[in-house]
């Protein structure tokens, strides 16, 4: 397996600039640094029909969201509720703005981007509670914002993929609104960090072991939280009765083994999970669309899977 030349270029540029790893910064500094870094190599100049920023009610206070309407489209459109990545500590609707624009236009879909609460100010399970509340709000209210409440999927990258999976498990347990589909982009599914891919790619590819420990340390309350299926959905007793899923992984990503295991378990237990692998890619490549061509391919694959799910 060979690292994609474009991914290698991104890693080389980061090393040349000598930027400190986020785990060397305070959480406040890391949040600010990522807001800047995330915009550097993301998709550029993506037009959009309309966006609307709202604060919706949640169990811990209002939750900021951004609703995207695609260019040149009106009427009732399928909906994607999107949860951004960032280790449950960094990231926002702004860091993933261009990505959500691209998804909305490519669908065409209405996209609801959720600024869930994060650590260390709001530790687990605050992000989970906000994510569930945002899905349920969307089901109840998106009809008034150009979306079809009968066609709502969830999706997200990394920590956002984790939250997407957990939201579906909670919907099953609580018998609340169940999404049509789940789009899990290199999701974290188990906090243990003991798989072969965690060991093989612990250093050198952005998402290092120290950075993952940093994120977990600022997200989780204690070691016991690692065993909670709302943090580690792979530890759920059952993966039956969940929406179909597209699970995308990257070849130089420590999270790949646990994501693949999630897909395999879904299928063993009667679900329908399609797994695709981007062999030469690094964790986070989806948000590097300004430099890595495979990011657009990844988006197109996800959009096609969503279209297919919404058509059934």
Residues with catalytic roles: 158, 253, 283
Residue 160, C-beta contacts closer than 8 angstroms, at least 6 positions apart: 82, 83, 84, 85, 86, 91, 185, 187
Distances (CA, A) of 103 to 43, 84, 206, 294: 11, 13, 24, 15
**Full strand arrangement of the beta sheet holding 273-282:** 50-56, 63-69, 110-114, 77-83, 147-157, 182-185, 245-252, 273-282
What is the Cα–Cα distance from 286 to 293, expressed in whole angstroms? Answer: 9
Are 216 and 153 in contact, with CB atoms under 8 Å apart? no
Residue 84, C-beta contacts closer than 8 angstroms, at least 6 positions apart: 91, 92, 93, 95, 96, 113, 114, 115, 156, 157, 159, 160
3 state DSSP class of 8:
helix
- For residue 116, the tally of other CB atoms under 10 A from its CB is 29
What is the Cα–Cα distance from 98 to 104, expressed in whole angstroms? Answer: 10
Four-point Cα dihedral 270, 84, 122, 232, nearest 10: 30
What is the Cα–Cα distance from 24 to 43, expressed in whole angstroms? Answer: 27
Name the phi and psi angles at 270, rounded to 5: 95, 5
Are 301 and 25 in contact, with CB atoms under 8 Å apart? no
Which tokens go with 173? 């347990």
- For residue 2, the tally of other CB atoms under 10 A from its CB is 9
């Amino acid at each position: 397996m060979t690292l994609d030349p474009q991914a290698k270029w991104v890693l080389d540029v980061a090393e040349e600039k000598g930027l400190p790893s986020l785990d060397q910064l305070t959480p406040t500094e890391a949040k600010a640094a990522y807001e800047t870094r995330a915009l550097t190599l993301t998709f550029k100049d993506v037009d959009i029909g309309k966006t609307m920023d709202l604060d919706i009610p949640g169990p811990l206070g209002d939750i900021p969201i951004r609703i995207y309407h695609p260019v040149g489209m009106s009427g009732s459109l399928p909906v994607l509720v999107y949860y951004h990545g960032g280790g449950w500590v960094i990231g926002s609707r702004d860091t993933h703005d261009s990505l959500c624009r691209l998804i909305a236009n490519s669908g065409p879909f209405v996209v609801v981007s959720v600024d869930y609460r994060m650590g260390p100010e709001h530790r687990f399970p605050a992000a989970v509670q906000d994510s569930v509340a945002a899905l349920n709000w969307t089901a109840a209210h998106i009809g008034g914002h150009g979306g079809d409440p009968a066609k709502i999927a969830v999706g997200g990258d990394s920590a956002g993929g984790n939250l997407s999976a957990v939201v579906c498990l909670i919907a099953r347990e609580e018998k609340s609104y169940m999404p049509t589909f789940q789009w899990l982009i290199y999701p974290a599914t188990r906090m243990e960090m003991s798989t072969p891919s965690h060991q093989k790619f612990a250093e050198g590819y952005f998402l290092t072991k120290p950075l993952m420990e940093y994120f977990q340390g600022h997200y989780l309350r204690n070691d016991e939280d690692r065993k909670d299926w709302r943090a580690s959905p792979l530890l759920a007793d059952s993966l039956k009765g969940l929406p179909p899923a597209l699970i995308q992984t990257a070849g130089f990503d420590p999270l790949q083994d646990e994501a693949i295991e999630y897909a395999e378990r879904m299928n063993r237990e009667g679900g329908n999970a399609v797994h695709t692998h981007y062999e030469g890619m690094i964790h986070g490549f989806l948000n590097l669309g300004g430099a890595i061509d495979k990011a657009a391919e990844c988006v197109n694959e996800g959009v096609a899977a969503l279209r297919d799910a919404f058509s059934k």
